[in-house]
Amino acid sequence: MFSELEGTLHQETIDSVLLRDNPLGDPHVRPLWVYTPPGYAESSDRYPTVYVIQGYSGQVEMWGNRQAFRQPFVVTADQVFAHGRAPGCILVYVDAWTAYGGSQFVDSPGTGKYHSYLCDEVVPHVDARYRTIAAAGSRAISGKSSGGFGAMITPMLRPDLFGALATHAGDALYEYCYLNEFAKSARALREYDHDIMKWWTDFNSRVSLTKEHDMSLTLLLGCTAAFSADPDGTPRLPFDPRSGVLIPELWDRWLAWDPIRMIDRYADALRGLRAVWIDAGTRDEWFLDLGAEAFKDGLLRIGVPQERISYELFPAAHGGIDYRYPLAVEWLAHRLDRSS
């Protein structure tokens, strides 16, 4: 796979200690793809690194999926360097899949310690094995959708590790991206005695994704496990599943993870970023274009200099926007610190 690259894709695994005994019984040995750019093998240079995380339901192997008339991101990212559009970077494709389809890249008793796994295991693992520049100013994180969310929050939580980010249609402004999902899910759960776990049992007992609301409910269950699980791991829906009425103490736990609402709490971290790429499609089904606008506005408000931000809304919906990713990689590659 990917024999056409001018750089090299190293398809490895990482054995996570932090994911052992995770609550969903997901594997603790995870695939990890590390891309080294053209010229890496021939030199002894150290390189900046861009961590690439995926949207909901993403698994690292999906980066190998072929789509008609398009090339996979692994290929288009390689071309950024192979065609000389930007100086070389190491790219790290991280797997944070769970049985529910995703982890939101946070630590939660409902799913596992995916944030810590990323920051405290994957990063050191890569730094130990590849000639990275192991400093925040030389390390970025990038993703789309839930991956865009992860790309926004991880540098807030760990400015010591990440000094740049790219978010494509990242989850933000939760009243717009999630409440509609709650409402639709409340309806969908009418068939399941208003009990999402009954739906989950059903989902697992038949061919998956054959009912209309399967994907929505999967996303809801996974985010619930990530944001409002009980200490014993039980996911607690942040709303009454009959009426949709929000349960403030649980919904507040979700809102505490809204990147827009995190900006003030993490203003110092954000002001320390070298480069922030923000984009989204103008017709995004989850209104993540509004989330993008709000995130950009928030950064400017707290004093992030405009010249560190690339902001663009482009005509598209949520799907099919993978062609944006290499644009961000190229932009980041020019801005990451190369002085090791």
Q: Which two tokens stand for residue 30?
A: 């995870």
Q: Which of 42, 69, 232, 307 binds a copy of itself (CB under 8 A)?
A: 69
Burial of 88 (0-12, 13-18, 19+ CB in 10 A): buried
The CB-of-200 to a copy of itself minimum distance in angstroms stands at 12
Q: Does 187 bind a copy of itself (CB under 8 A)?
A: yes
Among 64, 84, 248, 305, interactor with a copy of itself by CB under 8 A: 64
Q: Does 61 bind a copy of itself (CB under 8 A)?
A: yes
The CA distance from 244 to 179, in Å, is: 9
Residue among 40 and 178 whose Cβ is closer to a copy of itself: 178
197 binds a copy of itself (CB under 8 A): no
Q: Does 323 bind a copy of itself (CB under 8 A)?
A: yes
Span from 26-34, 83-91, 207-215, 228-236 in contact with a copy of itself (CB under 8 A): 207-215
Identified binder of a copy of itself from the candidate list 78, 279, 293, 330, rule CB under 8 A: 293
Q: What is the footprint of a copy of itself within residues 235-274 (CB under 8 A)?
A: 240, 242-246, 260
**Residue for token pair 């801005």:** 335
Q: Can residue 52 be called a binding residue for a copy of itself (CB under 8 A)? A: no
Q: Restricting to residues 93-122, name those near a copy of itself by CB under 8 A.
A: 101
265 vs 283, which CB is nearer to a copy of itself? Answer: 283
Query: To the nearest whole angstrom, how small is the minimum distance from the Cβ of residue 211 to a copy of itself?
Result: 9
